[in-house]
Chain A
């Protein structure tokens, strides 16, 4: 691997060099020593891209829809970055990243940059890694930035919420409506796509979703639209793109965008601090030894639980006067 100096690599990536951008993403993803320097250089260049998170159950058609939506944006002359996250096997650490199968046209377009990411056991958390990749796309001048992630589990939902606009994709079969409500997808969606409307049951699911959204409607003046789509037949794609643009306009006109940006950054900072503190806590050999010792005492009945817990807290948090 020819190791280019970081400043040149950054400059090349900001100037549109795809290999340089790809190398930077790897450095960030691999948690390389250059990671912090990259992130520091990248953040000031961000803010130009509109970020969209797309989530939903496996097989709902997220990748297929993104192929269509991305190509619709290409027709409008927009450049695109897309990160597709798939699970890493907790047993082997390997991953089968297959989203590109459905993105043949977008994948071959040099103005569309697609990156497949394994969820790994990322030290900084899955969303921290993904957000960094989105920042890189943004800094490299992409107009639209998408992230596809599975709508299962909290870590994945956090990733979906990295976007300014969150799109939830569901399908008529297999009781997706109920699943969505259980999985917390109803709360995060700004736009709902009922995909595979070429199958039976799309109208019913649309009604279910509308009813559920009606119940949950809050002070927010945005009413999440529910749109039937078929990635296979190309139906509802223009409507989906319009909905994304409408949501964007809505946030801009209501002056909510600075608010949203601030909230997203706040969450990111909080999470960053939390993961680092947690990491520092348990990698401290003294505390690790103390944990063993405390466990011994607890099991032999020598001390109570609260007392044990306090013994393990960092100074200042242990309730003792310092």
Chain B
């Protein structure tokens, strides 16, 4: 067996900065994961279609535009509808603590604020994926 953790990194919404997403993508790659990067301006439908086709373990969304309260739950809903209830959704952006709490109750994983040490993200993903697969 030659299993690898596969992560879809996507940027939904309208803002045009993907530096953060690229930094995380590079860190995950350096940690031995396969990162599928889909680029900017992705709709939730596009993200979910890609996640299904790529059979990823994790969907990581970078949202700076303030649209996190609509995008995260929408992606969760569409993934669940496609039968991918076990796919972890995580991500980052400027997200207030109370929003994080609400999202976590809706089946969204841990979300990371700006300036997070990427090693923290790597550890979190490794831990989650290994507990889901066992």
Contacts and interface: CB of A to CB of B under 8 A. Distances in A.
Interface of A: 1-2, 18-19, 22-23, 25-26, 29-33, 88-89, 92-98, 100-101, 104, 107-108, 110, 113-116, 118, 120-123
Contacts of B133: 1
A19 B83 contact: yes
A305 B82 CA distance: 61
B1 interface: yes
A107 B46 contact: yes
Nearest to A101: B39
Interface in B67-90: 82-84, 86
Contacts of B86: 1-2
Contact of B49 (A25, A30, A96, A107): A107
Nearest to B39: A101
Listed from nearest, the 3 A-B pairs whose CB atoms lie closest are A94-B29, A101-B39, A22-B55
A33 B3 CA distance: 12
B34 A100 contact: no
B15 interface: no
Given A23-B55, A92-B30, A108 B2 contact: no
B2 A123 contact: yes
Given A96-B26, A96-B29, A18 B34 contact: no
B3 to A, nearest CB: 5
Interface string B1-29: 11110000000000000000000011011
Contact of A18 (B38, B43, B45, B53): B53
Contacts of B94: none
Contacts of B45: 108
Nearest to B10: A100
Given A89-B29, A95-B34, A104-B38, 5 more contacts: A23-B55, A30-B1, A30-B4, A32-B1, A108-B43
A26 B55 contact: yes
Nearest to B3: A30
Most buried by A among B29, B30, B36: B36
B38 A107 contact: yes
Contact of B2 (A2, A18, A25, A120): A120
B62 to A, nearest CB: 14
Nearest to A108: B46
A30 B49 CA distance: 21
6 contacts: A19-B84, A33-B1, A92-B30, A94-B4, A94-B34, A120-B2
Interface of B: 1-4, 25-26, 28-39, 41, 43, 45-46, 49-50, 52-55, 82-84, 86, 132-133
Contact of A94 (B35, B37, B49, B54): B35
A29 B25 CA distance: 21
B101 to A, nearest CB: 28
Contacts of A96: 25-26, 29, 35, 37
A161 B3 CA distance: 26
Contacts of A104: 38-39, 41, 46
Nearest to B27: A94
B29 A115 contact: no
B28 A94 contact: yes
A97 B49 contact: no
Contacts of B37: 96-98, 100-101
A21 B64 CA distance: 33
Given A95-B29, A100-B37, A120 B52 contact: no
B124 to A, nearest CB: 17
A113 B55 CA distance: 12
Contacts of A33: 1
B105 to A, nearest CB: 23
Contacts of A94: 4, 28-35
A122 B34 CA distance: 14
